[in-house]
Structures are given as C-alpha cells and as structure tokens.
Amino acid sequence: MDGISNMIITMKNAAMVSKPSVTVPFSKLKYAIAQCLKEQGFIANVSKKTEKNNISVLEIELAYANGETKIHDVKRMSKQSRRMYTGVKELRPVKNGHGITVLSTPKGILSDKQARKEMVGGEVLFTMW
C-alpha cells in the first residue's frame, strides 16, 4: 500500500475513535507532510523515535479542540497509478477555507495557502478537512 495513504488514513481512523497519538513508519516525506499538518493545526506534535530493532517511526499527536477532532475526513488525490498536478492558478480553498490541500512542490511540501503565497504549483498529494 502507498505509505502516504497509510499515514493519513491511520490519522483519520485514530481521530474518529479519539486516540491521542499514532505511530507510522518513518520516511523523510512523511515527516515533511506531518510538519506541514502541524503548521496548519491538524496535528499537535510530531517526533521521530527509534523502536527496538533500530526501526525509526513517527509518533504523531493528534490535535483536538473542545474534545472535537480537527481531522474529519481526508481524500488522497495523487496515487501511484495516477499522478495529479496543478498550477498555482488552479488551487482553490477546501471546504470554504476550513480544510487544506497538501502539495509536493519544488519548494518542498506545502499547503495550498503556502503554495499560493510562494506562487508555485506541484503534485496534489491529498486534501484534509
């Protein structure tokens, strides 16, 4: 299965049952995505840990407001079988600005708001609201 899909679905499922944190296998791309989600307020904290057998994992603490999860749903846009790219002019707000689109751009992993500010487009990874 796709590692990014696995990570975002794990976070969504954990949020639906009010788990405080999740662990996923570490990669630099997943870490960059988690940092982007932390900046946008969808997760509270992210850290790299080493478990037994020297396996690196990401520990992601989910964000809650008044007992309500910040992650309601996610949709994977660009898949391994079908890549989706967009220019900066085609970026639109998600759920009237309550959600974000995460992109892989030449300037790194950015949210749609940051990509519009930086004036770059790229591969649309997923949307979250």
Report in angstroms the alpha-carbon separations of 21 from 47, 48, 58, 84: 11, 13, 10, 30
pTM: 0.92
pLDDT of residue 14: 96
pLDDT of residue 67: 86
Residue 94: give its domain's CATH number.
3.30.1490.10
Report in angstroms the alpha-carbon separations of 107 from 8, 47, 65, 81, 103: 22, 22, 31, 24, 10
Domain that residue 84 falls in = 3-128
Total number of domains in the chain: 1
Q: Which stretches of the chain drop beneath a pLDDT of 50?
A: none
pLDDT of residue 118: 96
pLDDT of residue 51: 87
pLDDT tens for each residue of 85-107: 999 999 999 999 899 999 999 99
